[in-house]
Homo-oligomer: A and B are copies of this chain.
Amino acid sequence: MLPDKKELIIKTATQLFAEKGYEGTSIRDLATAAGVNIAMVNYYFGSKDKLFEAMVEHKSVFIREKLEEIASDNSTTDIEKIDLIIENYVFRFLSQPHYHRLIHQELMLKSREILHDKIINNFVKNTQIIIGIIKQGIRKKEFNKVDPELTFASIIGTINQIMLSKQMCITLINKEKDFDPYTNEDFKKRLLTHLKQIIHTHLLIK
């Protein structure tokens, strides 16, 4: 009936897997939520695992494009590129907390090895873009001789720490229970300010 029932299943799976986890989402839940028959998932994707893989593939296609666009822009300096990438990461992560937790689940526990490898491959490709910029800045003597790989780990790790648990984040920054750090603009600004400050003093000479 619908133009693409396959895509509807992927879309519903993305939402449910992210909210309740992969193991926590049964095919029956998923089928009900998508309004399709239980057998349709296996009919279209072969198995629940392969649906997961299809979902990750579907998601990770568009992520790297933006990073490469920023990296290859000749009109920006290296530190401006770093700033833009930080903004990109913060914006993307904060707007999809559940999805990024799901990906981290798969990174930490390597059940489903195929998926684990696929996620790592995608992640590392993005990584190399940013590390490349840092190394370039060092070569041009615009940046200090920092540890490029671990500097990247500090950037992405800071954001991930905030994304770990909403309740933990709220408690950490001492806000009320109904405060939502992921949608609050002031907090987003605060996170960006801190990140840029710590990375600027770390990277920029003097």
What is A's interface to B at a CB cutoff of 8 Å? 20-21, 23-24, 101, 104-105, 107-111, 116-117, 120, 123-124, 127, 146-147, 149-154, 156-162, 164-165, 167-168, 171-174, 190-191, 193-195, 197-198, 201-202
Contacts and interface: CB of A to CB of B under 8 A. Distances in A.
Contacts of A193: 147
A120 to B, nearest CB: 5
Q: Do most interface residues of chain A lie in helix, strand or loop, or is the interface mixed?
A: helix
A164 B24 contact: no
A82 to B, nearest CB: 14
A158 B165 contact: no
B105 A109 contact: yes
Given A154-B198, A160-B164, 13 more contacts: A20-B111, A104-B104, A117-B167, A124-B168, A146-B198, A150-B190, A150-B191, A152-B172, A153-B161, A153-B172, A160-B161, A201-B201, A201-B202
